[in-house]
Amino acid sequence: MHIENCFPIGFENNDETEGSSISKIEKSIVQTILSQKHWGEEIPLSWYKFEAFLSKEKEENKILSPQELFKRFQSNVENYISPNIDEMEQVDILQFFHEIGRILFFQEDNLRDYVILDVQWFVDAFKHVITDCNHMPVVNRPREWDEFNSTGVLHHTVLEEIWRYADCRGILKYKDVILPYMQRLGLLVIGEESHLIPSVTKREYKEEMSMLSTTDQKTLILYFSFDFLPLFVYHRLVVSCFSFKDWLPLQDGYKCIYKNVSEFKYEHHYIVLGVFKEDIYLQIYRPNMQNAVLNKNVTLKVRQTVEDELEKLSNSYHRKIKFETGFYCMTKENSDRCFIPESEMRILTSEICPHHESRPNHTIISKEYMWPWDKTVQKPAP
């Protein structure tokens, strides 16, 4: 449902008003369905029969290889229509049913060898992991459980106990297939002895405990401001960071993945990614060391990497999710801080803040904000 379609009900003792809201909800649902990409699209008869086949097959098999799946499909006399479906059409069929939410399939290395037939079964498997209140009584490893509940670090043994107790219809049998799919969808980061689920961690980030607070080699904060930001977009971004070339998480006993902030390093630069209300923000710094200065080539590359990933995540989540890059004229602690889009900051000629023109001792020097993030802007002189 589009986020702008909001229909309050139940607030008035007025049957006519409530009935009107329900009618509007029904119409909105129909309009949303009709606007879907594949609605009204004609498909071959064999594809239609494949959908009916999936509904029955997933009760018996949760995961199959594409080869086995189509072998079983065509061995059924009811489904026989034409000679064997070639491999290219098989991929088209799988991608189509993936896009409409009937299966999970990615034509990518390490994923294309299996198809998840029962999406709800897959969702339930992850739901059991993050619904923590149900698990503590059955986990026989309280220390590892407490660690997971606090840091998001999930040891193999704890995961297996959770799934064994939940009886997820054979999920343990397919663990090595399921986990790469969960990582691909931004749910977790696979590790050798344990996995990381960023959405679970409850550790608070304390800037005063970070070298960010002691260095003068740091950018001002670049914000990616969303009209509507599902928190899951941020968590998926954090998972993606583990796959970026030469990016590594900072370590402080655990990986520096906190509730609303994550820290990485790349090319001797430290990267802070955080989420605050409807914004995801980026800051880059270098610890106070001899001759350590910010390298603009690095800051530009990091910015581009993050922005490209946010574009991809935004497009995959909801077509209406949009963001704008820019800056705030004050720190997040200020209740009257105001957002200045990057496009406006770029052409700002006066040092007077456009949002607080009468406020004394409050200036905006656009180059100080822009120079690490824009290749056309030079660093201001000290």
Beta strands in 43-89 (DSSP E): 63-64
* CA–CA separation, 72 and 53 (whole Å): 9
**Are 171 and 217 members of one domain?**
no
71-80, 107-116, 220-229, 296-305: least confident range: 71-80
Looking at residue 107, what is its pLDDT?
94
Beta strand 279-285 with 323-328 is unpaired
Q: Are 293 and 217 in contact (CB under 8 A)?
A: yes
CATH number at residue 110: 1.10.10.10
pLDDT confidence tier of residue 3, bands split at 50, 70 and 90: very low
Q: Considering the chain, what is the average pLDDT of its residues?
A: 85
**Are 156 and 243 members of one domain?**
no
132 or 190: which leads in pLDDT: 190
**Are 143 and 174 members of one domain?**
yes
Q: Tokens for 123?
A: 């969702």
pLDDT in tens, 166-205: 776 678 889 999 999 999 999 999 999 999 999 999 999 9
**In the predicted structure, residue 265 carries a pLDDT above the cut 90:** yes
Which residue matches tokens 């000629």?
A: 349
Q: Is the residue at 33 inside a domain?
A: no
pLDDT in tens, 10-65: 545 555 555 566 776 666 655 554 455 555 566 677 888 898 899 999 999 999 99
172 or 319: which leads in pLDDT: 172
**In the predicted structure, residue 6 carries a pLDDT above the cut 80:** no
Q: Is the residue at 229 inside a domain?
A: yes
pLDDT confidence tier of residue 293, bands split at 50, 70 and 90: very high
**Are 153 and 298 members of one domain?**
no
Q: What average pLDDT does this structure show over 241-268?
A: 96
Q: Is the residue at 334 inside a domain?
A: yes
Beta strand 254-255 with 251-252 is antiparallel
Q: Is the residue at 39 inside a domain?
A: no
**In the predicted structure, residue 125 carries a pLDDT above the cut 80:** yes
Q: Is the residue at 344 inside a domain?
A: yes
Q: Domain limits at 104?
A: 45-116
Total domains, the chain = 3
